[in-house]
């Protein structure tokens, strides 16, 4: 199944799939094995705390307009709530004051729905990764004049500068400050822009675990990372608390699957032992020294093989006589497939650039 947009841009042989297909695949993981019977839907996890050697989970469900609260005890907890939920904004002088003075001007790509809202508007898009790139190309045909792309360092390596090589995109450096009095946006090179209608931050997300107070406290004291966690998966001080999906860099669902199998075997007592706590803390310390925080810290790129093979080693083989998942060895062909998905995107952006340049040439001749 393809959307018309996918067919128009990438043709019938596209590797991309409609979101409904992806959702069906995910839901099928539960339904095929009958695991959907174990799901408690329309329920919020309000609190998770360790008490007397057990994890006490406080839950809430709304039925017929009434709140029902209850607590359950567990031997282990897997936090798989994702980290693409709470938008992250960099600290910029005057941002809060600007937002109060001009409400609705500053937004995050999480809330982007369609380009028509930006018709005839002057727009700045902040960021140089997937979200900002997608946003820019969704609004190119409707904005007033240029789209200003504010980029702090370098764009995402997989795409490079190709998505920004368009006659209607003007590259600007990072925003240095906002002037709430005049509405002026100042950049680090001394330049500025006036009369900007929208500033869209495509700067990613941060971690948030309000339902696990002990973890949330650690997150607030760290820079855009999940501290005290080994290999993005095991809580170092107490590995009966584990995490799935708190990483990035590619191979999303496959990485989650490898984490899930390794965690399941570990909690079942059939996995390879983790390194000592001092060794795990040293892994974290070295990573912080090298990458600080942010997406560099929680990205598994470029050492995909190291990450997948470590989880496979911890997981080991499924128990004899069971239908447990046998994790295959990392295959370099996966990287080739990833490249095959990137290539049509690059070609699409190059084609758009040529079409825009051709239109400008024709317009200049009139």
Beta bridge partners of 71: 58
Q: How far apart are CA 97 and CA 103, in angstroms?
A: 10
DSSP string, 253-276: HHHHHHHHHHHHHHHTT-SPPPPP
Counts of helices then strands in the chain (DSSP H, E): 10, 17
142 shares its domain with 130: yes
The three-class DSSP label of residue 238 is: coil
Write down the pLDDT at residue 19: 86
Write down the pLDDT at residue 88: 96
288 shares its domain with 211: yes
pLDDT in tens, the chain (366 residues): 567 777 777 777 777 888 898 999 888 888 888 888 888 999 999 999 999 999 999 999 999 999 999 999 999 999 999 999 999 999 999 999 999 999 999 999 999 999 999 999 999 999 999 999 999 999 999 999 999 999 999 999 889 999 999 999 999 999 999 999 999 999 999 999 999 999 999 999 999 999 999 999 999 999 999 999 999 999 999 999 999 999 999 899 999 999 999 999 999 999 999 999 999 999 999 999 999 998 899 999 999 999 999 999 999 999 888 888 999 999 999 999 888 889 999 999 999 999 999 999 998 887
Residue 245 CA neighbour count, 13 Å, CB half: 12
The answer to the question of residue 344 being in a domain is no
97 shares its domain with 155: yes
Range of the domain at 113: 86-205
Write down the pLDDT at residue 308: 98
The answer to the question of residue 145 being in a domain is yes
* Cβ neighbours around 268 below 10 Å, total: 11
243 shares its domain with 320: yes
The answer to the question of residue 4 being in a domain is yes
Question: By the 8 A CB rule, do 215 and 272 touch?
Answer: no
Question: By the 8 A CB rule, do 76 and 54 touch?
Answer: no
The answer to the question of residue 22 being in a domain is yes
User: For residue 297, with 0-12 CB atoms within 10 Å meaning exposed, 13-18 middle and 19 or more buried, which class applies?
Assistant: buried
105 shares its domain with 71: no
The answer to the question of residue 342 being in a domain is no
Q: How far apart are CA 26 and CA 312, in angstroms?
A: 22
233 shares its domain with 173: no
Write down the pLDDT at residue 214: 95
Write down the pLDDT at residue 2: 62
Write down the pLDDT at residue 18: 83
326 shares its domain with 212: yes
The answer to the question of residue 287 being in a domain is yes
Query: In Å, what is the CA distance from 55 to each residue of 8, 100, 229, 287?
Result: 51, 42, 18, 29
The answer to the question of residue 176 being in a domain is yes
Phi, psi of 98 (to 5 degrees): -65, -40
Phi, psi of 2 (to 5 degrees): -130, 145
DSSP string, 146-196: PEEEE-SS---TTTTTGGG-STTEEEE--EEEE-TTT--EEETTS-EE-S-
Split into its structural domains, the chain has a count of: 4
The three-class DSSP label of residue 209 is: coil
């Amino acid at each position: 199944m393809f959307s018309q947009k996918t067919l128009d841009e990438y043709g019938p042989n596209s590797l991309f799939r409609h979101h409904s297909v992806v959702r069906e695949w995910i839901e099928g993981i539960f339904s095929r094995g009958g695991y959907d019977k174990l799901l408690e839907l329309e329920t919020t996890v309000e609190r998770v705390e360790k008490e007397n050697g057990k994890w006490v989970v406080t839950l809430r469900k709304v039925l017929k307009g009434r709140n029902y609260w209850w607590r359950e005890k567990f031997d282990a907890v897997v936090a798989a709530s994702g980290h693409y939920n709470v938008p992250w904004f960099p600290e910029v002088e005057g941002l809060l004051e600007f937002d109060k003075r001009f409400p609705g001007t500053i937004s995050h790509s999480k809330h982007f729905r369609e380009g028509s809202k930006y018709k005839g508007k002057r727009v700045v898009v902040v960021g140089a990764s997937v979200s900002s790139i997608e946003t820019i190309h969704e609004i190119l045909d409707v904005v007033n004049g240029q789209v200003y792309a504010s980029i702090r360092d370098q764009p995402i390596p997989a795409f490079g500068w190709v998505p920004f090589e368009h006659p209607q995109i003007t590259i600007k450096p990072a925003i240095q400050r906002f002037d709430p009095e005049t509405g002026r946006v100042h950049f680090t090179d001394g330049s500025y822009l006036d009369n900007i209608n929208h500033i869209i931050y495509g700067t990613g997300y941060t971690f948030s675990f309000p339902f696990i107070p002990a973890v949330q406290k650690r997150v607030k004291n760290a820079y855009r990372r999940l501290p005290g966690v080994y290999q993005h998966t095991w809580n170092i001080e107490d590995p009966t608390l584990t995490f799935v999906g708190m990483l990035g860099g590619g191979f999303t669902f496959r990485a989650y699957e490898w984490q899930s199998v390794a965690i399941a075997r570990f909690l079942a007592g059939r996995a390879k032992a983790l390194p000592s706590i001092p060794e795990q803390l040293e892994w974290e310390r070295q990573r912080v020294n090298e990458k600080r925080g942010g997406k560099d810290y929680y990205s598994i790129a470029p050492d995909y093989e190291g990450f997948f093979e470590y989880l496979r080693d911890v997981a080991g083989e499924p128990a004899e006589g069971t239908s447990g998942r046998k994790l295959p060895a990392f295959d370099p062909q996966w990287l080739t497939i990833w490249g095959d998905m990137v290539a049509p995107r690059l070609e699409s952006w190059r084609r758009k650039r040529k079409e825009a340049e051709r239109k400008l040439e024709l317009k200049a001749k009139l």
